[in-house]
Structure 1
């Protein structure tokens, strides 16, 4: 149920359905490859990837400073996965780096 809801959100937040379908196919392929025969972990992997993608999509669409954009670019470079990205790690790295930047600027 959660998976269907998150996929619905993903489809409504993405401007290009073809890109969304391609990204979802990549996420599913990677989760299946990582967890062959373990359907519970495949589902868990899919949920984590989609949830993190949605969070990063919101950040991508928001107004960002040059520093925030540089951090985001570094995250995407740092955490490739298959033909896409390891979205939970991109999200974690972005949040960690951005929080440290804010602490250092204060």
Structure 2
């Protein structure tokens, strides 16, 4: 609820900044700059030219400032969407009972630094169908979050495909199988949580084996 409210505030701020940027750039366009002027011997300055040019420069600067603020607020919106998705995933992990005390501490630490990069990713048709169905169910009517969720899930799926096709030993293969079983869903798997689970298990495995 809090994240959703902050998203709305950031979106409203973006709209306000866009309107202000448009206003100042409109003032630039409407500023009357004389193309020519008859000079006389008594004329000692060029205020007739420098004043409108200075006004244009000020308005240009203000327009660019508000446009930049609007762009920055959209970055905030994207991060808030990411935070919302991560909190939902972590909440699901706690609810499922798949994390002990040590892992809970590490999950809570990870919440503080929201980590992710969104990119266009690809999966086979059956996997994509399951992902779309899950994201649609998780975010009904919120198409922006559905798109974000799909990209996040498919990116994790592709990472897991790379891991599975790599040079794994028996223990590492068992970890992946366990995580896939732990995060099986009605539509397939929660690939983001499978990836999180595997990486967490693999890091602990390497520490225990002195790697």
Residue 99 of structure 1 is matched in structure 2 by 203
The structure with the largest alpha-carbon Rg is: 2
State the match for 1:67 in structure 2.
171
CA distance in 2, matches of 1:84, 1:25: 9
Q: Write the distance in 2 (CA, Å) between the matches of 1:82 and 1:45.
A: 17
Give the drift of 1:84: 1.1
Equivalent-residue separation in structure 2 for 1:43 and 1:33 (angstroms) = 12
CA distance in 1, matches of 2:171, 2:126: 29
Describe how 1:76-87 pairs up with structure 2 within 5 A.
76-87=180-191
Partner of 1:6: helix, strand, or coil?
Answer: coil
Higher RCO structure, 1 or 2 (CA under 8 Å, sep 6+):
1
CA–CA separation in structure 1 for the residues paired with 2:206 and 2:199: 11
Which secondary structure state, in structure 1, belongs to the residue aligned with residue 121 of structure 2? helix
Q: Residue 155 of structure 2: which of 51, 56, 59 is its match?
A: 51
| Higher helix residue share | 1
- Distance across 2 between alignment mates of 1:42 and 1:58: 24
- Partner residue, 2:129: 25
Q: TM (normalized to structure 1)?
A: 0.82
1:6 maps onto 2:121 in alignment: yes
1:97 shift after superposition: 0.4
Unmatched runs of 5 consecutive residues or more in structure 2: 1-117
**Structure 1 stretches (4+) deviating beyond 2 angstroms?**
none
* TM norm structure 2: 0.42
Question: How many Å apart are 1:83 and its aligned residue?
Answer: 3.2
